[in-house]
């Protein structure tokens, strides 16, 4: 069987891409390469009065193999896929929606926060490299917003590559920018595909199981980057999970973002504005974003509440022209699982700006601390590589808000600019691990840092590490 098949869309030319053969038996027989459903035995067995069990035995076809599979096409996943491909790995990016961008596009959170401190000291642009190139592509497409809701006391010229703390953007431009860059790097793409489970041999992840209109299919990989936001791959592979915080009332809330049309220019200061269009924060809901019933309730309640709010606004003088142009495809989830990694970033690390020998990214976005927005007295804290490698699971690299951290520094690092910087590191690490056949936890971190520096990432470590 060839390494790829026609079910995966090529984004760009395949010329020069190395190909290998994959034999299903090489997976140790764990996943068969014949038939979508074979030898299906179903039985119903009541384990307790209120629960039935449906049992099935499934043989899933292995339809392709890649060096690196990135599960999740949000900002961090897109950058991770670009970094892995640029670093020489045959890379697949898989996404549940029909477009890319995650909470930035599907969630209408149309502001990338954290390219530097929001307040002085903010001379350092802490997120550079591939994420900065992505912003440059949005600028080229004319997709930068006219105004954002965050105050930024120091001015920067984004058209010259000097990126401010926050970049507001047109979600449609962001979608196209991602596709343009993936096409240039030759990343393969599967849309409309949900990652159902990891492929496993013991505690070693050997790929992912995807569900789509094509059915249930297995895609083998040397390394999987978990960019699901909720740590789905790592958690289902058996990684230790910490639900933080202990009290549900302290869990970061979900928010339904929405876009208004017909807004008089300059009249809405608490929004991300492009002409007469304004993106705003809508109703919030608190609950477990990994529970489908909770998510369903959240979607229903916030959408009904938002409609009433817009109707009330339209009845106010001066707002007669305002209309609800768009709601987010899905409610914006901020916090669910925290995967336990080789190191857990602490509140003190963030406050003190602790430097780590294995730094691979910098987070300069403010964090929530003691109930307030906390602004650093330094220019961002280090994210160590150890926080991107889950304990107890092999061949998985975490990215985005899956990283190992206490809630307060997590609040900072989950912001999309910082998440893109982490994606840059995760993608490079995955490519290096795949190409050298080394588990991610045993990777040569100095070599990883040098690779990131060669791709213009900001690590505050000079040009090369010896």
Please say if the pLDDT value at position 25 is more than 60: no
* Residue 368: predicted pLDDT: 86
**Do 144 and 12 share a structural domain?**
yes
* 253's tokens: 């809330």
Q: Please check whether residue 446 lies inside any domain of the structure.
A: yes
**Do 295 and 417 share a structural domain?**
no
Q: How confident is the model at residue 6 (pLDDT cuts 50, 70, 90)?
A: very low
Q: Please check whether residue 267 lies inside any domain of the structure.
A: yes
Q: Please check whether residue 46 lies inside any domain of the structure.
A: no
Q: Please check whether residue 17 lies inside any domain of the structure.
A: yes
**Do 270 and 351 share a structural domain?**
no
**Do 419 and 355 share a structural domain?**
yes
**Do 373 and 312 share a structural domain?**
no
**Do 263 and 242 share a structural domain?**
no
- 3-state DSSP call for residue 195? strand
Into how many domains does the chain fold? Answer: 2
The Cα 218–Cα 213 span in angstroms is 14
**Do 375 and 246 share a structural domain?**
yes
The Cα 80–Cα 72 span in angstroms is 10
Q: How confident is the model at residue 40 (pLDDT cuts 50, 70, 90)?
A: very low
Output the domain CATH number for residue 373: 3.50.50.60
Report CA-CA distances (Å) from 97 to 52, 73, 103, 105, 281: 31, 9, 11, 10, 22
Nearest to 210 by CA among 350, 15, 70: 70
Residue located via tokens 């020998």? 357
End residue of a domain, out of 311, 327, 343: 327
**Do 309 and 182 share a structural domain?**
no
* Residue 51: predicted pLDDT: 73
- Compute the average pLDDT of residues 239-261: 84
| Residue 233 region by backbone torsions, left for phi larger than 0, else alpha for psi between -120 and 50, else beta | alpha
Residues in a beta bridge with 208: 198, 219
* Residue 250: predicted pLDDT: 79
Please say if the pLDDT value at position 26 is more than 60: no
- Structural domain harbouring 305: 253-327
**Do 302 and 187 share a structural domain?**
no
Q: How confident is the model at residue 49 (pLDDT cuts 50, 70, 90)?
A: low
Report CA-CA distances (Å) from 320 to 6, 308, 311, 444: 51, 15, 10, 61
End residue of a domain, out of 274, 292, 327: 327
Instruction: Please report, rounded to a whole number, the percentage of residues in the chain having pLDDT higher than 70.
Output: 87
Please say if the pLDDT value at position 14 is more than 80: no
**Do 378 and 236 share a structural domain?**
yes
The Cα 461–Cα 357 span in angstroms is 10
Q: Please check whether residue 96 lies inside any domain of the structure.
A: yes
- Compute the average pLDDT of residues 152-157: 94
* Residue 242: predicted pLDDT: 81
The Cα 356–Cα 341 span in angstroms is 15
- Looking at per-residue confidence, does 166 or 41 come out higher? 166
End residue of a domain, out of 275, 296, 327: 327
The DSSP string of 57-115 is -----EEEEEEEEEE--SHHHHHHHHHHHHTT--EEEE-SSSSS-GGGTTS---EEE-S
- Contact 341/388 with Cβ under 8 angstroms? yes
- Compute the average pLDDT of residues 283-296: 95
* Residue 401: predicted pLDDT: 92
- Compute the average pLDDT of residues 438-461: 97
Residue located via tokens 């305002």? 322
* Residue 12: predicted pLDDT: 46
Please say if the pLDDT value at position 24 is more than 80: no
- Contact 371/324 with Cβ under 8 angstroms? no
Q: Please check whether residue 48 lies inside any domain of the structure.
A: no
Which residue spans within 262-322 are E strands per DSSP? 272-274, 277-285
The Cα 362–Cα 420 span in angstroms is 10
CB neighbour list of residue 303: distance below 8 Å, 6 or more residues apart: 256, 327
Judged by average pLDDT, the poorest of 122-126, 267-271, 420-424 is 267-271
**Do 262 and 140 share a structural domain?**
no
**Do 236 and 174 share a structural domain?**
yes
Chain segment 72-97, per-residue pLDDT in tens = 999 999 999 999 999 999 999 999 99
The DSSP string of 207-227 is EEEEEETTEEEEEEEEEEEE-
The Cα 396–Cα 415 span in angstroms is 22
* 456's tokens: 């213009």
Q: Please check whether residue 131 lies inside any domain of the structure.
A: yes
- Compute the average pLDDT of residues 146-162: 93
Over its C-alpha atoms, the chain yields an Rg (Å, rounded) of 22
């Amino acid at each position: 069987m060839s390494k790829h098949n026609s079910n995966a869309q090529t984004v760009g030319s395949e010329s020069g891409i190395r190909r290998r053969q994959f034999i299903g038996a090489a997976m140790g027989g764990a996943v068969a390469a014949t038939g979508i459903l074979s030898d299906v035995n179903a039985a119903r067995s009541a384990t307790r009065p209120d629960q039935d069990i449906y049992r099935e035995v499934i043989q899933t076809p292995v339809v392709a193999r890649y060096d690196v599979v990135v599960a999740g096409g949000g900002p961090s996943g897109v950058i991770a896929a670009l970094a892995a491909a640029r670093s020489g790995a045959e890379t697949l990016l898989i996404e549940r929606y029909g477009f890319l961008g995650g909470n930035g596009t599907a969630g209408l959170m149309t502001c990338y926060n954290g390219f530097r401190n929001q307040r002085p000291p903010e001379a350092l642009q802490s997120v550079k490299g591939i994420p900065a190139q992505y912003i440059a592509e949005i600028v080229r497409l004319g997709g930068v917003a006219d105004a954002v809701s965050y105050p930024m006391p120091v001015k920067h010229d984004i058209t010259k590559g000097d990126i401010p703390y926050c970049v507001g953007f047109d979600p449609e431009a962001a979608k196209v920018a991602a596709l343009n860059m993936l096409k240039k790097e030759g990343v393969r793409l599967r849309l409309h595909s949900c990652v159902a489970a990891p492929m496993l041999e013991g505690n070693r992840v050997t790929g992912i199981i995807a569900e789509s209109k094509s059915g249930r299919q297995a895609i083998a990989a040397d390394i999987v980057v978990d960019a699901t936001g909720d740590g789905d791959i790592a958690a289902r592979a058996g990684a230790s999970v910490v639900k933080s915080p202990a009290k549900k009332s302290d869990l970061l809330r979900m928010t339904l973002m929405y876009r208004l049309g017909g807004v008089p220019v300059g009249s809405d200061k608490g929004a991300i504005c492009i002409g007469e269009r304004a993106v705003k924060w809508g109703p919030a809901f608190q609950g477990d974003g990994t529970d489908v019933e909770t998510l369903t309730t959240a979607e229903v309640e916030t959408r009904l509440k938002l409609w009433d709010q817009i109707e009330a606004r339209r009845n106010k003088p001066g707002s007669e022209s305002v209309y609800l142009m768009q709601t987010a495809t899905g409610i914006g989830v901020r916090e669910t699982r925290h995967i336990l990694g080789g190191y857990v970033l602490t509140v003190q690390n963030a406050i003190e700006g602790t430097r780590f020998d294995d730094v691979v990214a910098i987070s300069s976005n403010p964090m929530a601390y003691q109930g307030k927005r906390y602004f650093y007295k330094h220019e961002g804290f280090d994210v160590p590589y150890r926080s991107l490698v889950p304990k107890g699971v092999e061949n998985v690299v975490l990215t985005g808000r899956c990283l190992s951290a206490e809630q307060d520094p997590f609040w900072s690092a989950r912001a999309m600019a910082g998440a893109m910087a982490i994606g840059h590191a995760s993608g490079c690490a995955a490519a290096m691990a795949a190409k050298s056949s080394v588990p991610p936890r045993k990777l040569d971190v100095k070599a990883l840092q040098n690779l990131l520096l060669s791709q213009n990432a900001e690590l505050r470590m000079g040009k090369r590490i010896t």
